[in-house]
Structure 1
Amino acid sequence: MTDTAGLDLISTAVLLLKRDHRIVYANPAAENLFAQSRRQLVGARIGDVLRDADRLAPALELALTHRASYTEQELELHLASKAAGSNGASRLLVNCTASFLDSVAPDGPQLIVEFRHIDQQLKIAREAKIAEQNQANRELVRNLAHEIKNPLGGIRGAAQLLEGELNEPQLVEYTQVIIAEADRLQNLVNRLLTPHKLPRYVRTDIHVLLDRVLQLLKNEFGGTHMIEPDFDVSLPEVECDAEQITQVLLNIARNACQSTATVKAPHVTLRSRVARQVVLAKRRYRMALEVSVIDNGTGIPLDIRDRIFYPLFTTRTDGTGSGLGLSIAQTFVAQHYGAIEVDSEPGHTEFRVILPFDHPSEADK
């Protein structure tokens, strides 16, 4: 039998397979990646662990036939079991290398298969790109907002002066429209300029904020939507700006309620959990706070998923969406050294707000 002591120490997932693709060994990293114990993995075929293991078949057969190594890059696989993987989901994005193993025993392993989980690497690169683009967009919007602000004041003032000179009620109504629209644009400009206020960090029970959001949602959408909590009340307090994080959760949850308006039985869940071994703002945390907003709406098309956080971008066609809610949410979360992740398909959309429990300067102490 192949000496596996060294394989136990490797940080990447390693499986030893027989010629029929039956697993004879799994290292601890493989147990973590596939969310199964070694006892569960050994004896199973690779197809019992991964429901789309046929994507691995060409590399496995080439390695056996040519007695060499073959690699598949950025391979998307899904766990066959209902258990979630180490990234909290059934989807795995990996680089996979299959190598021929010249086993001494006639019935010993013939293949060594190494899985390098690259989902986190791609996520960090994608978040960095989105953050850079959003920063450029925010600066552009802020510059435009400053240019718009002064003329708005002049328009409103002129409309008020004109109103004082008019005697016909019908004409006064027109000036009232001008004043009202100028005020609306002024409020929009103010919202564009205010998210950049730095947060005031205070130890906070996240469930106090979630209860507040839940109540606001029920007051607004309770007549048509099923809105329910799924909280882990054992979570420690998080160091955050309570008003900003409340606004983040409210913006996301309100979008979820609005996106399910056409669903037969609209359902929104607010969930709190611990996220383990996560990277936020290029720092690794053993534990972090994860708050999810889950809805059963129509989903977010893949081609616009990276743009939903852009300022002024909205999918609403009724003219009521400002396109600022998610942009403001991402700004506030970034100021907390956190991240917002999105998974979406028809019938299930999940926004995850992930925050460090401690401010990075405190976490280093």
Structure 2
Amino acid sequence: MDSHRLLNHLVTAVLVINHDLKLLYANTAAEQLFKISNNRLFEHALTEHYLSLGMDPQLWRNAIQKNQGLTVNTVSLTTLDGKQHTLDISLSPIEEEQGCALLELRLVDQQQRIHQQLSQDAQQQAAQFLVRNLAHEIKNPLAGIRGAAQLLSRELLNTDHNDFTDLIIEQSDRLRNLVDRLLGPQRPTAHGMFNIHEIIQKVLSLITITLPENIQIKQDYDPSIPNLKMDPEQLQQALLNIVQNAIQALENKGGNIEIQTRTQHQITIGTQRHKLVLALSITDTGPGINPDLIDTLFYPMVTDKAQGSGLGLSIAHNVARLHGGRIDCHSTTAGTQFTLLLPVTHQSKN
């Protein structure tokens, strides 16, 4: 069995370095961590592939020269793309290769993220359960009010009063639509194989007509991404909700929205690890999200907008869940990024 292929299935970044910290080997997880291809990793020393590291790399050199092992826990790492990670680091000398060592970089923040996701999913599903029960309780009397208003309008002798019954019917319909949105998709629907970029283009065609002139949309796609198993209408609605949020964040001062598609390897969603996932990022240059809302951002009825319903992100999160995926959010005062992760399943050939 090919050992290289086995190492590429690990979620731990595995590298082989020499006493000059030059890379001799890197598995797929290492490429994913540093966001650098294998060929480029080998061009420079390991210290050139990150912005900062919470330990002195001289410790590695000393350990390799003395043919000793080294373990350092909870080390902070900032990669070249500005993302921060927490690592457990182990260095083991390779007896067969003098002056070389096996370096393992184990992501601790991934475990924290998995725990956080499971906790948030459980809390959100509990919140949705309460909201849906409430929505069902509202729909029954609402239908009665609307029906009574229709009957009353037919019996009124003075047609001038029909304005009042029309108002009751109109507002009842508005509340019914809100309740229907609250209920949202509740279970998986029939999925087919579709191209994610076609879904994105449909979303952009919907928002381009009313897009303010001071907002520009940039697109950065990976054309090699295969078709995904999905409900295209549900996914289109989820993406539309996220893009509209980005537009609203930029309404006052304008700015840029970038939509990017990439693939990621060995990603855990919930409790399941996937060899390959789609990472669809929607990034705006707005003022960021109120930090007080971050932990409850995907809950129904949570919003920091005066005219917002607080349903858009909740629906998007639920659609991602029904597709076996998740949505991550990273927000600072310089902008907000939502990343939709969806498993890529390879179709068997007949």
Q: Please state which band the TM-score falls in when normalised by the shorter chain.
A: 0.7 to 0.9
Decide which of 168, 171, 179 is 2:169's aligned counterpart: 179
Contact 1:145 1:192 survives alignment (8 Å): yes
Gap change, CA 1:24 and 1:204, over 3 Å in 2: closer
Decide which of 83, 86, 90 is 1:90's aligned counterpart: 83
Gap change, CA 1:208 and 1:12, over 3 Å in 2: closer
Structure 1 position 56 matched with structure 2 position 55: yes
**% identity of equivalent residues:** 34
C-alpha separation between the residues in 2 aligned to 1:92 and 1:114? 14
Number of residue-to-residue matches in the alignment: 329
Partner of 1:41: 45
Gap change, CA 1:349 and 1:115, over 3 Å in 2: same
Structure 1 position 204 matched with structure 2 position 194: yes
C-alpha separation between the residues in 1 aligned to 2:302 and 2:89? 38
RMSD (Å) for aligned C-alpha atoms? 3.8
Partner of 2:77: 77
Partner of 1:310: 299
Give the residue type in structure 1 aligned to 2:55.
Answer: L
Gap change, CA 1:141 and 1:168, over 3 Å in 2: same
Gap change, CA 1:97 and 1:301, over 3 Å in 2: farther
Matches within 5 A, 1:153-302: 153-163=143-153, 164-165=155-156, 167=158, 169=160, 171-263=161-253, 265-302=254-291
C-alpha separation between the residues in 2 aligned to 1:166 and 1:76? 77
Over residues 131-170 of structure 1, what are the superposed CA-to-partner deviations in whole Å (9 max), with x where a residue is unaligned?
111110111011101111111122223333444436373x
Gap change, CA 1:50 and 1:272, over 3 Å in 2: closer
Decide which of 19, 26, 29 is 1:28's aligned counterpart: 26
Contact 1:17 1:112 survives alignment (8 Å): no
Gap change, CA 1:290 and 1:166, over 3 Å in 2: farther
- Offset, 1:28: 3.0
Over residues 306-346 of structure 1, what are the superposed CA-to-partner deviations in whole Å (9 max), with x where a residue is unaligned?
211101111111x3x21111111111111111111112222
Give the residue type in structure 2 aligned to 1:237.
Answer: N
Q: Secondary structure of the residue that 2:296 maps to in structure 1?
A: coil
C-alpha separation between the residues in 1 aligned to 2:207 and 2:337? 17
Contact 2:212 2:251 survives alignment (8 Å): no
Partner of 2:4: none
Q: Secondary structure of the residue that 1:279 maps to in structure 2?
A: strand
Partner of 1:150: 140
Structure 1 position 338 matched with structure 2 position 325: yes
C-alpha separation between the residues in 2 aligned to 1:240 and 1:25? 40
C-alpha separation between the residues in 2 aligned to 1:356 and 1:14? 26
Structure 1 regions of 5+ residues with no counterpart?
Answer: 1-8, 102-107
**TM-score, with length taken from structure 1:** 0.75
Over residues 7-57 of structure 1, what are the superposed CA-to-partner deviations in whole Å (9 max), with x where a residue is unaligned?
xx8955578898xxx747776369644446355226xxx5x554443x435
Contact 2:41 2:49 survives alignment (8 Å): no
Give the residue type in structure 2 aligned to 1:350.
Answer: Q
Gap change, CA 1:307 and 1:216, over 3 Å in 2: same
- Offset, 1:200: 1.3
Over residues 224-254 of structure 1, what are the superposed CA-to-partner deviations in whole Å (9 max), with x where a residue is unaligned?
4212322222321111111111111111111
C-alpha separation between the residues in 1 aligned to 2:14 and 2:211? 46
C-alpha separation between the residues in 2 aligned to 1:295 and 1:205? 24
Gap change, CA 1:267 and 1:39, over 3 Å in 2: closer
Give the residue type in structure 2 aligned to 1:90.
Answer: K
Contact 2:237 2:316 survives alignment (8 Å): yes
Structure 2 regions of 5+ residues with no counterpart?
Answer: 1-6, 94-98
Over residues 272-325 of structure 1, what are the superposed CA-to-partner deviations in whole Å (9 max), with x where a residue is unaligned?
2222222224222222222221211111233321211101111111x3x21111
